[in-house]
Amino acid sequence: MKLLPLDSRELFELAAGWLQRRENSQWLDFGIGHHPVTPALLMIMARRDTHFLRLYTSDRDDTLTGLVGLSNVDRVFKTAVFWGVSGDKSFRNRGYSTLASSKLMTFAFGELGLRSVNAWAVEGNPSIRVIERLGFRYAGRLRQCHEIDGQLRDRLLFDLLASEHRELDRKTWRLFDRTRREADCDALQEA
């Protein structure tokens, strides 16, 4: 698994294509309304020190599978907003998003010296599991502020402090995932 910079027009086009897909774009908000994220916008974001974008690969053959990012990086307050998108859905549910996100948090807290990273996810978004696996803590809710298919939904707010972050590797993630699945099964049996 690698994190790679967007350093060619082809990579910006690939990432923008992922972000433009309805299955991804409906959960995101880059503050530009319902306008699609274009390769040009991603290029501008990548050049600013308030954004940090990385493509991530599978660990088998370096196939590009998704994109993780930090936005609103504030070097004075040492904060940022985390987000990500799974691009190649054939790699979904294999832990790549979780591992890539964990590596990005290690970079955020280590190299960038951030103290706190926050994230939000629309209620019902499957990516909430990734946020929770990373150790983010639930911090609140913004009610009825996100619209999907004419329905208003809440955004759930999360944050992670540098002191709380533990980088996950493949072995640790598998152990965590197995423990979580066992707990889910136990909860279902009790219900």
Q: Please tell me the distance from the alpha carbon of residue 130 to that of residue 128, in angstroms, as a whole number.
A: 5
Percent of the chain whose predicted confidence (pLDDT) is above 70: 86
**Secondary structure of residue 182 in the 3-state scheme:** helix
Q: Please tell me the distance from the alpha carbon of residue 109 to that of residue 139, in angstroms, as a whole number.
A: 19
**Secondary structure of residue 69 in the 3-state scheme:** strand
Retrieve residue 98's tokens.
């979780």
| 93: exposed, middle or buried (Cβ count in 10 Å: 0-12, 13-18, 19+) | exposed
Work out the pLDDT band at 154, boundaries 50, 70, 90.
very high
The pLDDT tens digits for 162-188 are 999 999 876 665 555 555 555 555 555
The pLDDT tens digits for 28-87 are 887 766 678 899 999 999 999 999 999 999 888 889 999 999 999 999 999 999 999 988
Q: Could you give the number of structural domains in the chain?
A: 1
Domain that includes residue 110, residue range: 3-190
Q: What is the CATH number of the domain that holds 155?
A: 3.40.630.30
Retrieve residue 2's tokens.
């690698």
**Secondary structure of residue 48 in the 3-state scheme:** coil
- Taking residues 107-121, what's their average pLDDT? 97
Q: Please tell me the distance from the alpha carbon of residue 26 to that of residue 22, in angstroms, as a whole number.
A: 6
Q: Considering the entire predicted model, what is its pTM?
A: 0.84
Q: Please tell me the distance from the alpha carbon of residue 18 to that of residue 16, in angstroms, as a whole number.
A: 5
pLDDT at residue number 15: 95
Residue with token string 């002191």: 163
What separation in angstroms does the CA of 58 have from each of 7, 18, 28, 65? 19, 16, 23, 6
